[in-house]
Structure 1
Amino acid sequence: MIDVVLRLSARDLVHADLASCGWAGSDHHLAGVARQLDRARAGEVDYLAVCPGTNIPVAKGGVDYQVKEGVGTLWQLAVHPALQSCGIGTFLVEAAELRIRSRGLRQAELAVEESNLRARALYQRLGYVAYDRRPDSWDEQAPDGSLRRHETMCTLLRKELS
């Protein structure tokens, strides 16, 4: 067995990164991320990229400060599928929490699909506690290019930040 150590950094995701983020979702999804980057310029959200030394994103995710007063809401968290279960998701969440704290806020929240047990286990291991459930939906791009409505049930989790 060979251990590989990646030195990671978190920085703002920028429009130029989107061309190398096809692993994160469809063209429709990445167009939505591009719109969120416009919100980042306005200070409404932070949108992070986690990168190794190559400076090419291997994880991405946002923190929305407009969802609930005094709370940073994490959303659109994704790690390159080939690099999942390597600690990169933990690094991403911790970087997002640092951004939240740097704005003087002490609470983080997120929603996770109830079918995504692996992600929920990660968030709970990082100290997030379930407090409610809610239905959610969004448009997804199908392989044929058409848009289909995805409907799901999500568990809402929150964490008090020290």
Structure 2
Amino acid sequence: MRAPDGRGTPPGARAVTVPLTVRDLTPADLPACGWSGSPLHLAHVERELVRARLGEVDYLAVCPPSGEPVAIGGVDHRARPDAGLLWQLAVLPALQSCGIGSVLIAAAEERIRGRGVHRAELAVEEDNPRARALYERLGYRAYGRQPEAWDAQGPDGVVRRYETMCTLMRKEL
């Protein structure tokens, strides 16, 4: 938890250490992952879990002792011939900036290394400086830009095309 000025623990707060485990995300986890996106997004994640069963991707969950995911994200092993592509990384908003994203990324990098690949890549939206700062702290370096687009469901339930510009980043593992 950050102090109002963004530096460290607020006065009177106490630090608590909670053990985390990283495991494969399962379809049974999806109802507990509503914080990560709309029903349309979760339907996409469910389709990616089919690809996980085929070995094309890894889809990970970071969990406290309750077993419910507080962070999720994938590694696509087919998108790039010489790299694992990290995508759909998300941390429960109330627990962001607690190191959980770093745990998720470290586990994803380990899955990439386990396949004998020595590079991880990702795309970060240019209007997400906090995520980019995390990736840079973890050793990722920008190497390009590209537009991205996908269908997104708004709070009103209407599906619209979402377009953004992303910075491409990579890290040698």
Q: TM-score if structure 2 supplies the norm length?
A: 0.92
Q: SS where residue 131 of structure 2 aligns?
A: helix
- CA-atom RMSD, angstroms? 0.5
Partner of 1:17: 29
Aligned letter for 1:33?
V
Are 1:131 and 2:137 counterparts? no
Q: How many angstroms does 1:70 deviate by? A: 2.1
| TM-fit CA distance, 1:144 | 1.6
Aligned residue pairs total 161
Q: Does 1:76 align with 2:85?
A: no
Q: Which residue of 1 aligns with 2:122?
A: 110
Show structure 1 runs of 4+ deviating over 3 A.
Answer: none
The alpha carbon displacement at 1:90 in A equals 0.4
Q: 2:41 aligns with which of 29, 33, 42?
A: 29
How many percent of aligned residue pairs carry the same amino acid? Answer: 65
**1:100 to 2:117 alignment:** no
- Tell me the equivalent position of 2:63: 51
- Counterpart of 1:157 in structure 2 is 169
TM norm structure 1: 0.98
Distance 2:158 2:97 in 1: 31
Distance 1:6 1:111 in 2: 30
Give the drift of 1:143: 1.5
- Matches of 1:55 and 1:143, distance apart in 2: 28
| 1:63 maps onto 2:75 in alignment | yes
One-letter amino acid matched to 1:111: A
Map of 2:4 onto structure 1: none
